Structure 1
Amino acid sequence: MTTTNEIADKVAAEHGLTKVQGKAIVEAVIASIASAAVAGNETSLPGFGKFKVKATPEREARNPATGATIKVAAAKKLTFQPAKALKDALNK
């Protein structure tokens, strides 16, 4: 697993920045994606993929312990659709 700090360190090293500057850039990118998602907007990063907000409808589910039927509220979820270039690189 790669962490935010590892990504920030790599950004800093590749662009001659301090680790603090690298971390600020990475955190700003993540914050921009998050704020777009909260607003219900899609974020597209060419060559990487798209972050989209999808609505899930209300549904009925069953509690496995009791067998009782319960309602699961409608919600929104953040999905990621990788770009073709990324999918191709993964499947080489």
Structure 2
Amino acid sequence: MTKSELIARLAELNPHLYQRDVERIVATIFDEITDALARGDRVELRGFGAFSVKQRDSRVGRNPRTGDAVPVGEKKVPYFKTGKQLRERLN
């Protein structure tokens, strides 16, 4: 499901809301999750899962074309762990 499909589905399920309002709501939710992760906070949505940021240490990688060693710097990556209810619903 893409973001535009999510907006269309929510607008369909909530006919009392304008599409532009649904777009603003979805954008605000995603922006808040992004801002919280940028601050290093953890975002937990009960029954769905938790978003957090993990630190990857620097390492030596390989250039796949030449096989030469290439230094890869440390970086932060987003991480999502599914909630128990979501896992149970999928299985």
Verify the 8 A CA contact 1:8 1:25 in the aligned structure 2. Answer: no
Pairwise CA RMSD: 1.1
Are residue 55 (structure 1) and residue 64 (structure 2) matched? no
Structure 1 alignment gaps of length 5 or more = none
Letter in 2 for 1:51: F
When normalised by structure 2's length, the TM-score is 0.91
1:38 shift after superposition: 0.7
Q: In terms of mean alpha carbon deviation, does 21-30 or 2-11 score higher?
A: 2-11
1:83 shift after superposition: 0.3
Report the count of equivalent residues. Answer: 90
When normalised by structure 1's length, the TM-score is 0.90
> Which residue pairs with 1:86 in the alignment?
86
Are residue 28 (structure 1) and residue 28 (structure 2) matched? yes
Identity of matched residues, %: 32
Letter in 2 for 1:6: E
Structure 2 alignment gaps of length 5 or more = none
Verify the 8 A CA contact 1:48 1:86 in the aligned structure 2. Answer: yes
Give a deviation string over 1:29-82, Cα, whole Å, max 9, x none. 000000001111110000110000000000011112212111100000001101
